Amino acid sequence: MVDIQSIKQKFGIIGNDEMLNRAIDTARQVAPTDLTVLISGESGVGKEAFPQIIHSLSARKHGSYIAVNCGAIPEGTIDSELFGHEKGSFTGAHEARKGYFEVANNGTIFLDEVAELPVSTQVRLLRVLESGEFMRVGSSKVIKTDVRVVAATNVDIPEAIKKGKFRQDLFYRLNTVPIIIPPLRERKEDIYMLFRKFSSDFAAKYHMPILQLDQEARRMLEDFRWDGNIRQLKNITEQISIIEKDRMITPDTLRRYLPRAGAPNLPVLYSGDEKSGIEFTERELLYKVLFEMRRDISELKRILSEVIDENQHPSENLQKSQKKFLSDFDEDQLFEADHTFEISTNRHKKAEQEDYEGAEILEESLSLTKREEDLIRKALEKHHGKRKAAAEELGISERTLYRKIKEYNI
C-alpha cells in the first residue's frame, strides 16, 4: 500500500497535521472499495485533492474521472448535465446528450458542493446510488451505470436537513465513509510550511527572490484566523511576492495584506443563520438609540429638577406631571436593560462604546434620585405611612414603592 508521504508528494499536499494525515489515511484505505465517500470541510481547505487520491488508488483508475461543481450549474439544467437528455425534451435540446453519470461509467464522479443540488435532483441521485439506474430527461428508458461517487460539501448538512434543504436518506447514503478536512487555523504548524512553499513557487514564477518572515511576522501569520484557509493564504502570499520589494517581511508589512489584521485566531460568535449580518446591524442601531434615549432622559431630569427647585411646593398640575412621568418611565428598568445590552454588545463594539461614554450625565441622575426620595417621603407623610395610598398618589405600583422604600432606607 502506498504510504502517506508518497501521496502528499504526488498530489501536492503540504503539512504534517495529525488530522490531515488521518484524512489522507482514510482516503487511502477506502480507495480499493466502491463505498461512497462524503468529504466535509470549509471552503479553501483542499477537498478537491481527496477524490483524486481515492480514484488513483482504486481499481477504477483507468476509467473516467469527472469533477462536477454542483453549485455552478443552474437549477434548470442540472438534471440534464448529470443524467443527460433526449432530443426535443426541452427548448434548445436539438440533439440527445449523455450526462456525466453515463460518461463516467466504470469510473469516478466527484460531486463538489453536493448540498447545492435541488431536492428534485437529490431524488434522482439517491436512485443512482441505490440501484445504479437513471433516466435521461425526457426519456422513459432506464439506463444502468457503474459509477463510484465521491461528494464534498462545506455546508453543515444536518442543519440543512432540519431546514428541509437536503434529504436525510441521501445524506446517509453519501456519508458511508466520512472524511473531514481540518481548517487551516487548526493546523498552525503547517501555516509557515505552506507559506514557504507558495513563496518559493511564486519566486520561480515571477523570477524574484523568495520571501522571508521575521519571527513576529511568522507569529502573526500563525495566529491569524484564515477564514479562506489555504486559498486565502496562497492569494496573500502571491500579492506580497509581486508588490513588496523588501523580501524580509515584517509585521507592519504583513498587516497591510491581512484583512481585519487586529482580529487574531480567537473564538467568535456565530449564529448559524444567513441573516446574522442583518441582526448585527440592527443591534448596532438599537445600541445607538439607547444612548440617544439616555441623553433625552438626562435632559428631562435636569428640567424637572430645575422646576422642583423653583417651587418647593409643586402645584397640582406639576404633581400630576410628576406622577405621569414616574408612571410611564421606570428609570431602573430602562437603565438595567440598557446596562445588560451594553455588556452584550460590548463583545462586538467595544471601540464604539468608548465614543458614547460621554453621554452619561451623572449629576442629573443623582439630582433626580434625591427628588424622587423627597416625593416618596412627602407622599408617605401625607397618607400617614399607608403605602397603597402613597403609591396611588405617586402613580406607581405598590411593589415599586416598596422597593424604593428599601432602596432609600425610608
Q: Which residue's entry shows cell 456525466?
A: 100
Task: For 42, list phi and psi in degrees, rounded to 5.
Answer: -65, 160
Q: Are residues 170 and 192 in the same domain?
A: no
Q: Are residues 161 and 32 in the same domain?
A: yes
- Lowest-confidence segment of 74-78, 80-84, 324-328 by average pLDDT: 324-328
What angle separates helix 188-206 from helix 229-243, to the nearest 10 degrees?
40
Confidence of residue 146 (pLDDT cuts 50, 70, 90): very high
Domain of 120: which CATH number?
3.40.50.300
SS3 state of residue 187: coil
Q: Say which DSSP state 288 is in.
A: H
CA distance 170 to 364: 65
CA distance 323 to 392: 9
Could you read off the pLDDT of 256-311 as tens digits, one per residue? Answer: 999 864 455 555 444 444 444 444 455 556 656 666 677 677 767 777 766 666 55
What angle separates helix 387-394 from helix 316-328, to the nearest 10 degrees?
100
What angle separates helix 188-206 from helix 215-223, to the nearest 10 degrees?
110
Q: How far is C-alpha 344 from the chain's CA centre?
A: 18
Domain of 207: which CATH number?
1.10.8.60
CB 82 within 8 A of CB 58: no
Q: Are residues 178 and 202 in the same domain?
A: no
pLDDT beyond 50 at 151: yes
Would residue 263 count as lying in a domain? no
Mean pLDDT calculated for residue range 231-248: 95
CA distance 111 to 128: 13
Residue from 248, 13, 320 nearest 3 by CA: 13
Confidence of residue 334 (pLDDT cuts 50, 70, 90): very low
Could you read off the pLDDT of 344-397 as tens digits, one per residue? Answer: 555 544 544 544 444 444 444 455 677 778 888 888 888 888 888 888 887 888
Mean pLDDT calculated for residue range 317-324: 53
Give bridge partners of residue 150 from the DSSP assignment: 37, 110
Q: Are residues 291 and 382 in the same domain?
A: yes
pLDDT score, position 283: 57
Number of domains in the chain: 3
Task: For 180, list phi and psi in degrees, rounded to 5.
Answer: -110, 125
pLDDT score, position 123: 96
pLDDT score, position 346: 54
CB 55 within 8 A of CB 148: yes
Q: Are residues 293 and 362 in the same domain?
A: yes
CA distance 165 to 60: 32
pLDDT score, position 90: 85
How much of the chain, in percent, has pLDDT values that exceed 90?
60
CA distance 377 to 410: 7
Widest pairwise Cα distance in the chain? 100
Cell readout for 83 is: 443524467
Confidence of residue 319 (pLDDT cuts 50, 70, 90): low
What string of DSSP letters covers 312-355?
A: SS--HHHHHHHHHHHHH--HHHHHHHHHHHHHHHHHHHHHHHHH
Q: Are residues 150 and 177 in the same domain?
A: yes
Q: Are residues 326 and 239 in the same domain?
A: no
Would residue 204 count as lying in a domain? yes
Over the chain, what is the mean pLDDT? 82
Residue from 383, 367, 379 nearest 405 by CA: 379
Residue from 51, 133, 152, 67 nearest 125 by CA: 133
Would residue 207 count as lying in a domain? yes
pLDDT score, position 274: 43
Give bridge partners of residue 152 from the DSSP assignment: 39
Q: Are residues 297 and 222 in the same domain?
A: no
End-to-end Cα, the chain, rounded Å: 86
pLDDT score, position 261: 45
Residue from 270, 216, 217, 284 nearest 244 by CA: 217
Its pTM surpasses 0.95 = no
**In which domain, by residue range, is 16 found?**
4-182
Q: Are residues 113 and 49 in the same domain?
A: yes
Q: Which residues contact 262 (CB under 8 A, 6 or more apart)?
A: none
